[in-house]
Chains A and B, each alone.
Chain A
Amino acid sequence: MSMGMSKIVKTVSSVVFPFIVIYGLYIIAHGHLTPGGGFQGGAVVASGCAMLLVAHGSIWTIGKIREKQLSILESTGAVAFILLALLGLVFGTVFFKNFLVGNKFLFGEIPGYLSRVANFNTGGVLPLMNFAVGLKVIAGLFAIVLVMAYATSTFKKGEMEDGKR
């Protein structure tokens, strides 16, 4: 696993990877209109990253991105989520108040009761929270998979340095 799989698997996973990422980002961005949201779309994107990790090996992947950067990204998502909730306390009345509903320029439109029109500019603070949670889930799940794969690949690396392969 540390050296990756065959060239066919590497090529196919590299071709499929952008489509998986775009699908997951679509689920995150349309979380207030269609089924899904930050958690589900983040799980999709993290699964695509894990596919790339399995295909190319953990040594190649740890050269691209370190788990420290992933944990910084995850903390950014968590801080953004709590900050949005606290902004509800500042601009509204209570913690987790949806303070963007009804304004004119950003996610403020209100669909009528039983409206079936999927307008993206709705939802108040929900799309921003979806983005924050999505970033958190992407970075968190991929950090888990990356750290575990790299920790189990060190023995293979030691064998390689001894000249067995």
Chain B
Amino acid sequence: MLKRDFAAVIFFTVVAVFFVFAALLTHPFGSPDNPVMDDYIIHNTQTEVGANNGVTSVVFDYRGFDTLGEATVLFTAVAGVILVFRRLKK
């Protein structure tokens, strides 16, 4: 039992050290590595799409296909759940 606790402490220490180094190795807050697409969307979303909310304009206009896939996933989930649980009614 004591050996297992020791192994768990070592394991979580190693994982925590990896997480801390990964957090330290990222770029600083507010200055991404390749901001070309971000700058384009920030500068043009209010004049091109006409919406003040940039996230919604990305989700429904610039990346509309992704939202279509998301809606398809939700539709498939609902259809699957109704298909599975409909048999149990009798």
Contact = CB atoms under 8 A, between A and B. Distances in A.
B7 interface: no
Nearest to A148: B85
A3 B43 CA distance: 55
Interface string A147-161: 110111010000000
Contacts, number: 123
Contacts of A82: 68
A113 interface: yes
Interface stretch (B11-19, B20-28, B31-39, B51-59): B51-59
Nearest to A155: B88
Given A111-B50, A154-B89, A81 B81 contact: no
B41 interface: no
A98 interface: yes
Name the interface size band of chain B.
20 to 34
Interface residues of A, number: 51
Chain B contact residues: over half helix, strand or loop, or mixed? helix
A109 B60 contact: no
A78 interface: yes
B48 interface: yes
A109 B51 contact: no
Contacts of A114: 46
B51 A140 contact: no
Interface in B44-90: 46-53, 55-57, 59-61, 64-65, 67-68, 70-71, 74-75, 77-78, 81-82, 85-86, 88-89
Given A32-B52, A33-B53, A37-B59, A85 B78 contact: no
Contacts of A140: 74-75, 77-78
Contacts of B47: 110, 112-113
Contact of A126 (B46, B49, B85, B88): B49
B89 A151 contact: yes
A144 B78 CA distance: 6
Interface of A: 31-35, 37, 39, 67, 71, 74, 78, 81-82, 85, 95-96, 98, 101-102, 107-119, 122-126, 129-130, 133, 136-137, 140, 143-144, 147-148, 150-152, 154
27 contacts: A32-B56, A33-B51, A37-B55, A37-B59, A74-B75, A81-B68, A96-B68, A98-B61, A108-B50, A109-B50, A111-B46, A113-B43, A123-B49, A123-B50, A123-B51, A125-B61, A126-B56, A126-B57, A130-B56, A137-B74, A140-B77, A143-B81, A144-B77, A144-B81, A147-B86, A151-B85, A154-B88
